[in-house]
């Protein structure tokens, strides 16, 4: 796994608990961290999504000005499009959460979220607020402001709509409302149990010029700031660092080049005192902010002046003096923040190494877990280990570490059956349509899942005891990647997985279908079990009188489900469960564990109630063999198999060596032409396939990545626009009601467009050659109609179709009409007389 090592110390201590690979601060990092001790200013940046943030500005604030810098993204980006895999919805949000955290580890800012769910593209803040609970999300922004206490708040977007996306504008509206509400004790008084009202000095809009469009106003009266400087201690410009940060948004395909030289940012004040020359004008950003702080300034300056880059451990005694002086100040926000920064600097300057790791990624409920501890006083700073605590293990050590020699030992602990499984806190409760349900006030805003285990080390150095906490990590050596760290997860003793995820019941067909329940043992299990597949109205049970499962082994149980059987409702979700005895206690396995693994982020695990969704549909199909060109990743092939097609996945090699005429239809996956440059090389072969009687169906591609599409996808010219229909219930007009695609083999009606989710269609075809026929017309409320969601052309003996209809969302959601319409598109070349 590729990891990002922090090169700027004064953010590493705060963020390293969320990163998996330990940080390795240099003397340069420590020096910059010492200078940061004298800076008592903070700035909060607010926008709607991962990748909305201005990473260059965040880098400048955190690394040049040394302000405490935060980014509040109202959503986790759940509704976006995934360039690297098939994950959608909350799974994409989990990936984009980790991408944001990876970005922050590079640019030095901190990350926060609200409970808002990214439900997809929205064309206005009014539409956005119909799904977000406006007051709840406002309370989250107020909470983050009160907790973070920014001197200055900056929004990425204006409140007037130039941001183009309803979420963007809504984020600015909420930030400006929260600027005032956070200072009002009458607003959200339940928060005052933990925080106090806070009034920032000002809130500004950070002007932008995306693509130089006319919708990006930057005026001469705005405050301008050059953020393109070069940091000689880091050896990099802020533009170079920011590019590496932004390039972490890999699921969105947002890799950018590193920039150097001047870079101007503009700001418009939207509330508070307007600055004339500096964003922090009239804001005290040094120790004058704290009563008694003058003495702290002198101590820090002395430490900086005597800092030895070749022997940073010499600064430990002075840093201990700084820490003790801070202890003597009245309890307060900056006193507490600087105590933590000082303690982290003591750790870094001393050369201390502390880690606790396991050889197993999973801590299984009711099982044991062996933990390995390693400590090393690498620079001989004179460190005594007093105590180490983790969960139910508490050890008094009182061991003086020998310079640069490891103190290593192991301890086995028991994982209690009641130990909570490791689950993202925002997924613990059933979510609402537009937001997650989080009832613990203190969890709101937190970016990541809670660490499964934390280890507390009590150490003495410089005559003072310090307590350090570190996450327990899973560590192993990969023959290619080397030493790899990953999170540790608490998991149940068994999990289940039901398949298929969608089960189609075709109304005109009789017979039975098979449901499989896979039981996975996470530790040795044996005995008697009852296995269930059930819904509210149906329960099928099998008894296994003597099962025996080893760790990481599985057993499958099959259930026959008859179409039309009493008790089975065609819109039910069927859930599987496994009832067994574990450690002489009755136990039920009903959760499935989903694993998401990419090299650029830590491994992701979450749990959910796995279900088979029953879909009753009057579906007829023609054609049998479908080739599917793999794109950015989607679940359409699974749906095709449920429909009864034989599906062959086509990659570069398969397209090269296969005779395409064997396929009744070929479908390209979403964004296939964006993600597969090699696909352009098969244009002639695909066109010959169509001309010879084949049926080529191209799902949406984006215009931004490949520009206008002319004679590289279809047989005739057309462009891909950014037109989209975001209202999933938008009226659909049939422009060609007699066209075969609306009549064979399924008669398409308005009922087939009921129950769609998130949106209708994206990236429509435009500027069509006369050979194309537009089949559907639709529009969002108050907007002009678009005819490019489904266009079809006859070419030779075959057919070419381009569609922006979001089959990749509707099919996994079990929308019957989406299945029927796709079946008709696949059948185009089987129509008599075609």
- Average pLDDT of the segment spanning 505-518: 81
- Average pLDDT of the segment spanning 242-248: 93
Alpha-carbon distance 506 to 642, whole Å? 10
pLDDT tier at 497 (50, 70, 90 boundaries)? very high
CA 428 to chain centre: 16
Per-residue pLDDT tens for 21-76? 888 999 999 999 999 999 999 999 999 999 999 999 999 999 999 999 999 999 99
- Average pLDDT of the segment spanning 290-314: 96
Q: Are 613 and 573 in contact (CB under 8 A)?
A: yes
Sheet with 42-47: strands ordered across: 110-113, 68-73, 42-47, 152-155, 202-206, 264-272, 223-226
Task: Examine the pLDDT at 14 and tell me if it is beyond 70.
Answer: no
pLDDT for position 9: 34
pLDDT for position 565: 62
Task: Output the 3-class SS for 678-720.
Answer: HHHHHHHHHHHHHHCCCEEEEECCCHHHHCCCCCCCCCCCCEE
Entry pTM: 0.89
pLDDT for position 133: 94
pLDDT for position 566: 54
- Which residues, in sequence order, are CB contacts of 173 under 8 Å at separation 6+? 125, 159
- Which residues, in sequence order, are CB contacts of 516 under 8 Å at separation 6+? 498, 499, 556, 557, 558, 559
pLDDT for position 144: 98
Q: How far apart are the first and last CA of the chain?
A: 52
Give the range among 14-18, 125-129, 450-454 with minimum mean pLDDT.
Answer: 14-18
Give the range among 185-199, 303-317, 693-707, 813-827 with minimum mean pLDDT.
Answer: 693-707
Task: Examine the pLDDT at 510 and tell me if it is beyond 90.
Answer: no
pLDDT for position 180: 98
pLDDT for position 572: 79
Task: Examine the pLDDT at 152 and tell me if it is beyond 50.
Answer: yes
Per-residue pLDDT tens for 576-586? 999 998 767 88
Task: Examine the pLDDT at 8 and tell me if it is beyond 70.
Answer: no
What's the angle, vertex CA 666, arms to CA 665 and CA 670, rounded to 5? 135
Alpha-carbon distance 436 to 287, whole Å? 40
Burial 191-218 (b: 16+ CB within 10 A, else e): beeebebbebbbbbbbbbeeeeeeeeee
pLDDT for position 299: 97
Alpha-carbon distance 775 to 444, whole Å? 46
What percent of the chain stands above pLDDT 90? 81
Per-residue pLDDT tens for 209-237? 654 444 455 566 789 999 999 999 999 99
pLDDT for position 703: 73
Q: Are 275 and 298 in contact (CB under 8 A)?
A: no
pLDDT tier at 507 (50, 70, 90 boundaries)? confident
Give me the helix-helix angle, 27-36 and 294-305, nearest 10°. Answer: 160
Q: Which two three-digit tokens encode residue 510?
A: 């009789």
**Three-state DSSP class for residue 810:** helix
Q: Are 516 and 360 in contact (CB under 8 A)?
A: no
From 696, 694, 715, 665, select the one nearest 798 (Cα to Cα): 694
Name the β-bridge partners of 44: 70, 153
pLDDT tier at 256 (50, 70, 90 boundaries)? confident
Per-residue pLDDT tens for 257-288? 898 998 889 999 999 999 999 999 999 999 99
pLDDT tier at 508 (50, 70, 90 boundaries)? low
Sign of the torsion angle spanned by Cα atoms 747, 751, 757, 760? positive
Q: Which two three-digit tokens encode residue 515?
A: 């449901």
> What separation in angstroms does the CA of 577 have from each of 134, 536, 543, 609, 687?
38, 14, 12, 9, 50
Examine residue 151 and say whether the peptide bond preceding it is cis (omega within 30 degrees of 0): no
Per-residue pLDDT tens for 371-423? 999 999 999 999 999 999 998 888 888 899 999 999 999 999 999 999 999 99
Mean pLDDT of the chain: 91
Q: Are 589 and 496 in contact (CB under 8 A)?
A: yes
Task: Examine the pLDDT at 452 and tell me if it is beyond 50.
Answer: yes
What percent of the chain stands above pLDDT 70? 93
- Which residues, in sequence order, are CB contacts of 635 under 8 Å at separation 6+? 86, 808, 811, 812
Alpha-carbon distance 271 to 251, whole Å? 35
- Average pLDDT of the segment spanning 335-351: 97
pLDDT for position 631: 87
Bridging pattern class, strands 611-617 and 502-506: parallel
pLDDT for position 209: 66
Q: How many CA atoms lie within 13 A of 694 on its CB side?
A: 22
């Amino acid at each position: 796994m590729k990891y990002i090592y922090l090169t700027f110390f004064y953010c590493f201590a705060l963020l390293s608990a969320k990163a998996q690979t330990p940080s390795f601060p240099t003397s340069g990092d420590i020096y910059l961290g010492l200078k940061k001790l004298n800076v008592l200013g903070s700035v909060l940046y607010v926008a709607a999504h991962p990748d909305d943030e201005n990473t260059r500005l965040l880098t400048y604030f955190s690394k040049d000005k040394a302000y405490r810098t935060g980014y509040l993204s109202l959503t986790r980006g759940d509704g976006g499009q995934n360039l690297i895999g098939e994950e959608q919805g909350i799974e994409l949000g989990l990936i984009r959460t980790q991408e944001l955290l990876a970005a922050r580890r590079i640019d030095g800012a901190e990350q926060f979220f609200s409970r808002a769910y990214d439900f997809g593209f929205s064309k206005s803040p009014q539409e956005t607020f119909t799904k977000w609970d406006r007051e709840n999300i406002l309370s989250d922004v107020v909470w983050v402001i009160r907790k973070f206490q920014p001197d200055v708040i900056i929004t990425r977007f204006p409140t007037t709509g130039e941001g183009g996306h309803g979420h963007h504008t809504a984020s600015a509206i909420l930030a400006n409302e929260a600027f005032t509400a956070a200072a009002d004790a009458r607003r959200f008084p339940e928060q005052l149990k933990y925080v106090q009202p806070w009034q920032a000095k000002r809130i500004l809009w950070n002007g932008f010029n995306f693509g130089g469009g006319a919708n990006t106003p930057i005026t001469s009266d705005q405050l301008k700031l050059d953020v393109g400087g070069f940091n000689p201690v880091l050896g990099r410009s802020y533009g170079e660092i920011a590019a590496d940060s932004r390039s972490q948004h890999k699921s969105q395909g947002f890799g950018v080049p590193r920039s150097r030289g001047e870079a101007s940012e503009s700001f418009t004040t939207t509330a508070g005192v307007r600055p004339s020359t500096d964003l922090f004008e009239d804001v005290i950003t040094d120790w004058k902010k704290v009563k008694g702080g003058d003495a702290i300034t002198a101590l820090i300056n002395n430490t900086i002046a005597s800092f030895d880059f070749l022997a940073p451990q010499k600064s430990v005694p002075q840093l201990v003096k700084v820490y003790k002086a801070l202890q003597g100040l009245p309890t307060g926000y900056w006193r507490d923040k600087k105590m933590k920064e000082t303690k982290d600097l003591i750790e870094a300057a001393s050369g201390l190494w502390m880690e606790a790791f396991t050889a197993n990624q999973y801590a299984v409920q009711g099982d044991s877990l062996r933990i390995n501890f390693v400590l090393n006083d690498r620079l001989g700073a004179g460190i005594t280990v007093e105590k180490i605590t983790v969960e139910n293990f508490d050890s008094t050590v009182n061991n003086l570490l020998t310079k640069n020699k490891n103190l290593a030992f192991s301890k086995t602990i028991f994982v209690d059956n009641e130990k909570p499984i490791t689950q993202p806190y925002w997924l613990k409760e059933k979510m609402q349509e537009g937001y997650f349900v989080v009832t613990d006030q203190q969890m709101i805003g937190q970016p990541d899942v809670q660490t499964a285990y934390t280890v507390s080390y009590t150490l003495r150095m410089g005559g003072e005891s310090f307590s350090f906490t570190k996450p327990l990590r899973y560590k192993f050596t990969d023959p290619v990647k080397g030493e790899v760290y990953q999170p540790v997860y608490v998991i149940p003793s068994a999990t289940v997985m039901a398949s298929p995820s969608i089960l189609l019941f075709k109304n005109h067909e009789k017979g039975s279908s098979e449901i499989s329940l896979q039981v996975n043992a996470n530790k040795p299990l044996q005995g008697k079990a009852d296995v269930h597949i059930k819904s509210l109205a149906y329960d099928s049970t099998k008894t296994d009188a003597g099962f025996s499962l080893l760790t990481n082994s599985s057993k499958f149980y099959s259930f026959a489900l008859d179409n039309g059987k009493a008790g089975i409702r065609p819109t039910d979700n069927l859930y599987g469960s496994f009832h067994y005895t574990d450690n002489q206690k009755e136990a039920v396995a009903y959760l499935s564990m989903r694993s998401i693994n990419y090299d650029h982020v830590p491994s992701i695990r979450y749990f959910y109630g796995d279900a088979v969704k029953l879909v009753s549909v009057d579906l007829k199909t023609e054609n049998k063999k479908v080739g599917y060109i793999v794109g950015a990743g989607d679940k359409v092939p699974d749906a095709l198999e449920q429909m009864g097609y034989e599906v062959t996945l086509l990659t570069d090699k398969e397209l090269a060596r296969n005779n395409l005429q064997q396929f009744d239809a070929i479908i390209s996956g979403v964004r296939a032409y964006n993600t597969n440059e090699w696909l352009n090389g098969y244009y002639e072969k695909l066109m010959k396939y169509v001309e010879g009687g084949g049926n080529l169906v191209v799902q949406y591609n984006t215009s931004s990545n490949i520009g206008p599409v002319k004679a590289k996808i279809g047989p005739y010219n057309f462009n891909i626009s950014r037109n989209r229909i975001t209202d999933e219930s938008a009226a659909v007009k049939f422009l060609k009601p007699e066209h075969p695609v609306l009549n064979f083999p399924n008669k398409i009606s308005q009922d087939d467009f009921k129950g769609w989710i998130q949106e209708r269609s994206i990236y429509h075809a435009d500027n069509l050659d006369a050979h194309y026929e537009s089949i559907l017309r639709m529009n969002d409320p108050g907007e002009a109609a678009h005819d490019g969601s489904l266009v079809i052309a006859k070419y030779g003996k075959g057919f070419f179709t381009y569609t922006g209809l979001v089959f990749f969302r509707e099919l996994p959601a079990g929308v019957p009409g989406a299945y029927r319409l796709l079946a008709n598109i696949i059948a185009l070349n089987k129509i008599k007389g075609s």
